[in-house]
Structure 1
Amino acid sequence: MAAVRGLAGIGAGAALWLALAASASGQQSGKASGWQALEADGAEACFGRVYDKAHLKAHPNQKVQRIFFYRGGDPVSHPNEEPSSGSSYDSYLTTTERGAKKPDWVGAWCRAGVDEDGNPQGIHCGMECDRTLASLRFDAKGRLIVEKLDRYVYLDPSETAELEEEQYEKLALGTDDDGFALERRPAAECKAEFAKVDPIDPALGEPLRVRLKPDRPFCFGRDYTAAHLASNPEQVTKTIRVFRGPSELASYATAGRDLDNWPNGADIMVSVATRKASGTSVQSYSCDGEGDQWRCVATTKTSDADCDISSREIYLRRGAKGTMMLSNPANGLPLIDLCSAEAAEATASDDRIYRLEPMQPAECGL
């Protein structure tokens, strides 16, 4: 009987152990499925923590004072001039070290892993070039635990190879910057934190690719006064116009370009009058969106240049209060002969940067 009771006791203990294991497995599975639910429907989520002075005093090797983890669309990049400027990452981490004026940030792909039997194995966050950001898990309180955080995550090896070890360590995260327990926060709180990385200048407004439409003409320009020219004797330009008219619109339309790729392939015209010559010079350009600017390359549509002028470039950017900024760093404007030796050099005159005002089409001859 004793043997029977012993076997019965073992059976009860095993049943209890199995019940506890199943409960723990269910909790862990629920935590993993919560993350997998975020992956499935693309829902945004925010977790964060701000450490007080007492905590930081007790952890002198922790540099991070503020830390936020956000899952969702890119919270840092602004709408710019490129047709496709979104990040492929789905998760983002930002930290602010004690005494720092602005946060650092990084993006990653985070995925919930499973073993061969389908059991959860935590959440791995990877980056480009086979780098690892950190591992994630949820604790019993539902907090997101960020651990195995790469201390050198913000350092680009190609840019820091020449640094001394002491300086390299100074730029790295602290030796206690790991195992962060982050509370769930409203998504707006994470977005506000990431907005500190690169604050938007409200005066700039929408990018040019949003302001200027592929099927509408535009005209920007400036006429410099005698007083301005007298105070800037090295400036050659008297008047300048940048525009797209009916022929440029028709060329873009007949080329069958995808409007989602605007402004890539858009033709513009630039006309200039100088104090060195009579009359007006006109030059055509083909533009593509690159970062926060349009890169516009000279074309032969309006000239019979006997050289390759495709290396002659100008750049357009949005300016404050609806203006357009034109940059001419390397003699890309027809202020001189674009095939001359001078055109192969950096712009030597004061004709490098222009702030152009929006004008009526008639001001550009449209």
Structure 2
Amino acid sequence: MTFRAGEWKTVAGAGFGVALLGLLAGTAVADDALKLRELSPNGADVCFGRVYDAAHLKAHPKQKVARIFFYYGHDPVSRPNEEPTANAETSYNGFLTTTVRGAKAPQWAGGWCNHESEDGTSGPIRCGMDCDRTMASLKVDDKGRLVVTDVSADLYLDAGSEEELGKAEYDRQALGSEDDNFRLDPMPAATCKAEFARIDPIDPALGPPLRERLKPDQAFCYGRDYDAAHLASHPNQLTQSIRVFRGPVELASYASGGDVANWPDGADIAVSVTTRLKSGKVTQTYSCQGEADQWRCAASSKMSDFSCDIAQKEIFLKRGANGTMMLANPNSSLAIIDLCSKASDGKTKSDDKVYRLEPMPQSACAP
């Protein structure tokens, strides 16, 4: 079992004040979405873009951007994922994507685009981002082209990245000194949607998200049993058998306190493992929430007592191809070892990091 960094996200949550501020700002601009008649006279989603040819790029060696598209309208980036449907709508109304020379995929940023005047109906158009950053300033020229200015070199980087990365790496990741003052031609909205789809192409084999496959009132069972040949070829793997399931106990817990509108947030799952080290299986409960394209599940003490705080012990679930489920255990958070022992500190040291699990009859997950 291999684990590739970057495939599983461990995202820190925003503080309540920051989250509330973003919510209030988003609410304020959501009602004004698509009101910029200079960009969209009829209120429909619009697209502007440009692909630079070799001659232009040769004449502008300090311009890194080879492709650039701006989309004003409803979110072209997000698609059905594991987050509750209540969180599906974004308040952004402006989306910028660029592909630099030699890159295989675009990068993108989203923001709120509005007039800077007090009444919000006149003056320059500024697209702001979180943390009071500017994504771009916009205007339409007399030929109907969108002029995009004030694009910062660190558009896709965190504040303070130059100090953190060092000058050489910062210069490599940042946009170039000539990456500004773009003039983009009007294009069909479908062109922008296709460009944004290049950022993270959909794999049809993955099918619907887990939150759609697995219903709030539905029991399920996924697992895998490793044979002698597999274990012989993976001597550092401790797991002989693993099950991930929701049964009567987990269903009753959600029925008594869960919010179906926010499914899968608050869903309990159980994970049973049998290892080479112990006879019999050990079962641990986790409480999950949807986060991007995964379920983030923190160990819970609901069903057992612990001498330590196990809430930081997290596993991650993702949909796999052809109806399978992937489980990641990057930080020693499965009960293959004592979760309160020193052996559970830090990253998983054994070859028990990622599992590909098959759907099984519910009887295979019986206690």
Q: Which residue in the other structure is 2:70 paired with?
A: 69
Structure 1 distance, partners of 2:352, 2:169, is: 41
Higher helix share: 1
Secondary structure at the aligned position of 1:267 is classed as strand
2:151 to 145, 149, 152: 149
1:169: how far off? 4.8
Quote the residue 2:91 is aligned against.
88
CA–CA separation in structure 2 for the residues paired with 1:349 and 1:48 = 49
Question: Is the contact made by 1:236 and 1:349 (CA closer than 8 Å) also made in structure 2?
Answer: yes
Alignment coverage as a number of residue pairs: 331
Q: Aligned runs of 1:121-160 on 2, under 5 Å?
A: 121-160=123-162
Shift of residue 217, structure 1, vs aligned partner? 0.8
What's the offset of the Cα at 1:114?
A: 4.3
Say which of 188, 191, 210 aligns to 2:190: 188
Correspondence for 2:3: none
Name 2:180's counterpart in structure 1. 178
Partner-residue secondary structure (3-state), 1:219: strand
Secondary structure of 1:121's counterpart equals: coil
Question: For residues 275 and 115 of structure 1, what CA distance do their matches in structure 2 show?
Answer: 68
> Equivalent residue for 1:265?
266
**The residue matched to 1:342 in structure 2 has which SS?**
helix
Report the 3-state secondary structure (helix = DSSP H, G, I; strand = E; otherwise coil) of the residue aligned with 1:99. coil
Aligned to 1:280: 281
Aligned to 2:334: 333
1:290 Cα deviation after fit: 2.7
Q: TM-score, normalised by structure 2?
A: 0.79
Name the structure 2 match of 1:221: 223
What is the match of residue 252 of structure 2? 250
The Cα RMSD (Å) is 2.8
> Does 1:33 find its partner at 2:32?
no
**Residue ranges of structure 2 left out of the alignment (5+ in a row):** 1-34
Distance 1:202-1:237 versus aligned 2 partners, 3 A rule: same
The 2-side partners of 1:178 and 1:346 are apart by 42
Instruction: Name the residue aligned to 2:110.
Output: 107
Question: Structure 1: which 5+ runs fail to align?
Answer: 1-30
3-state SS of the aligned residue for 1:203? helix
Residues 301-333 of structure 1: CA distance to partner in whole angstroms, max 9, x if unpaired?
332444443343322222222111122233322
Q: Matches of residues 279-358 of structure 1 in structure 2 within 5 Å?
A: 279-344=280-345, 346-358=347-359
- Structure with higher Rg: it is 1
Q: Distance in 2 between matches of 1:288 and 1:360?
A: 24
Asked whether the 8 Å contact 2:94–2:111 carries over to 1, the reply is yes
8 Å contact kept, 2:290–2:296: yes
Question: 1:241 aligned to 2:204?
Answer: no
Partners of 2:206 and 2:142 in 1: CA distance: 47
Separation in structure 2 between the aligned mates of residue 342 and residue 37 of structure 1, nearest angstrom: 62
1:47 counterpart = 2:48: yes
Instruction: Kindly provide the CA deviation profile for residues 36-69 of structure 1, in whole angstroms up to 9, marking residues without a partner as x.
Output: 766xx5x311111222233334444433322111
Task: Verify the 8 A CA contact 1:47 1:183 in the aligned structure 2.
Answer: yes
C-alpha distance in structure 1 between counterparts of 2:50 and 2:310, whole Å: 55
**Other structure's SS at 2:138 match:** strand
Per-residue deviation, residues 325-364 of structure 1 (Å, max 9, x unmatched) = 1222333222233344433454333222211101111211
Percent identical pairs in the alignment equals 59
- 1:65 and 1:98 in contact (8 A); partners too: yes
Aligned-partner SS, 2:161? helix
Q: Using the alignment, how far apart are the partners of 1:53 and 1:354 within structure 2?
A: 45
State the Cα distance separating 1:263 from its structure 2 match. 1.2
Shift in alpha-carbon separation, 1:136–1:240, aligned structure 2, 3 A: same
Question: Retained in 1: the 8 A contact 2:271–2:285?
Answer: yes
Aligned amino acid, residue 361 of structure 2: Q
Report the Cα distance in structure 1 between the residues aligned to 2:147 and 2:157, rounded to whole angstroms.
Answer: 23
CA distance in structure 2 between the aligned counterparts of 1:328 and 1:88, rounded to whole angstroms = 34
Alignment-mate amino acid for residue 101 of structure 1: K
